[in-house]
Amino acid sequence: MKILVLNAGSSSQKSCLYDLERLPTSPAEPISKADIDWHNKLLTTKTKEVKSTHKLTEDRVSGIKKMLENLWQGETKVINDLAKIDIVGHRIVHGGDYTQSALITPEVKERIRSLIPLSPNHNPSHLEGIEVIETILGTVPQLAVFDTAFHTTQPPEIATYPLPYELSEAGIRHYGFHGISHRYCAGRSAELLEAPLESLRLINCHLGNGCSLAAIKEGKSLQTTMGFTPLEGLMMGTRSGSIDPAIPLYLMREKGFSAEQVDTMLNKSSGLLGVSGISADLRAVLAALKEGNQRAQLAFSMYIHRINSSIGSLLPVLGGLDALIFTAGVGENSSLVRAKVCEKLTFLGVQLDLEKNETARGDQIISTPDARVKVLLIHTEEDWVIAEDCWNFLKKA
């Protein structure tokens, strides 16, 4: 089965193609991967043998078409014909009430469109990808795999904001994001711990450009730090995370900020970038910190503190903790972040093996053998989850 996965962001469009004869138990390697960087208008395509880069000169739709052309033409060709693709899976950031992946129909597209006000940076790019596939591949089945779906198991007392109830009925509630990653890491942790997922109480720390934690019990998400939008919760690269909700009101009333300016400030110029004044990339913040930069130190300390205080806030719903998982760009690569977070959690029974933490590469347990709470490092595989859902969907169909 040939499965094309599209993952559209506001500034990038990624794709990969899997060619599967059966569904393996661990993630397969795609036969082709492509990445469009819309800022630099650069398309990079990689196969096992070849890496090519291509400057895009036309509009976004033509760019996506070019990305697909590279699958069957030129030096990165891996299939004879685009018609060989059996199904296309899309990562969809905001899926509202969808509790599981859905075959894309005109109604599903309409629902994704209706959620644009809640996800203005992502849902339009997803629709763009879906429509390009419709133009090029006609009636090939397309599956929407939602980042929000995994968190629809949050109980009402967690999913509801303490606002007038009519607002909750109008859809203003705690959705949560990064669900594809949280779901994958939960399943993978059960494999590493050799325990049934249903028996585990987990906190998954997805720390990338965007950051969120999820409290997962019996394989279900019970609470997550992101909410109505991906702005709530932890301090992130450029996003503030949770702040006093009166701050935007004060800025608008007293300082003349427009709604657009507040939006840009909270989403694009806060977080690590805003506090440090250096970068949204933790590596650059840490380099400045090493040279004694005070604001870099403050930004890093806040980043760690906010992870720890959020871990604390997730414990009651779990009633204890069996494993703490680190994943995504920062979680997988920064031994310092893992060490600093775990340092404050020894009272819970978290005991990091400091040497393993330093040298760890790939999925593994990095706590000491006798630690009451295990610490895991897991490379997240969102594309693979989408491919698996596609496989299962076509097999069932």
Contacting residues toward ligand AMP, per CB under 6 A: 208-209, 237, 281-283, 328-330, 333-334
Residue among 310 and 327 whose Cβ is closer to ligand AMP: 327
Question: CA triplet 108, 111, 113: central angle to 5 degrees?
Answer: 110
- CB of 273 vs ligand AMP, minimal distance in Å: 10
- CB of 266 vs ligand AMP, minimal distance in Å: 18
Residue among 108 and 296 whose Cβ is closer to ligand AMP: 296
Structure-block tokens of residue 113: 């469109």
Angle between helices 179-193 and 382-396 (to 10 degrees): 90
Strands (E), 276-361: 323-327
Residue among 361 and 395 whose Cβ is closer to ligand AMP: 361
CB atoms within 10 A of CB 191: 13
- CB of 31 vs ligand AMP, minimal distance in Å: 22
- CB of 326 vs ligand AMP, minimal distance in Å: 11
Structure-block tokens of residue 78: 């891996």
Residue among 67 and 282 whose Cβ is closer to ligand AMP: 282
- CB of 298 vs ligand AMP, minimal distance in Å: 17
Measured CA to CA, the distance from residue 388 to residue 18 in angstroms comes to 10
Q: Which residues are catalytic?
A: 147
Residue among 214 and 328 whose Cβ is closer to ligand AMP: 328
- CB of 331 vs ligand AMP, minimal distance in Å: 8
Contact 150, 92 (CB under 8 A): no
Residue number of the CB atom closest to ligand AMP? 329
Contact 391, 23 (CB under 8 A): yes
Residue among 218 and 281 whose Cβ is closer to ligand AMP: 281
Q: Report the Cα–Cα distance between both ends of the chain, in Å, rounded.
A: 14
Helix, strand, coil % in the chain, rounded to nearest 5: 45, 20, 35
Of 26, 24, 20, 70, nearest in space to 50 by CA: 70
Report CA-CA distances (Å) from 351 to 158, 189, 312, 356, 365: 29, 17, 16, 12, 11
Measured CA to CA, the distance from residue 55 to residue 102 in angstroms comes to 34
Question: Backbone phi, then psi, for 295, in 5-degree steps?
Answer: -70, -30
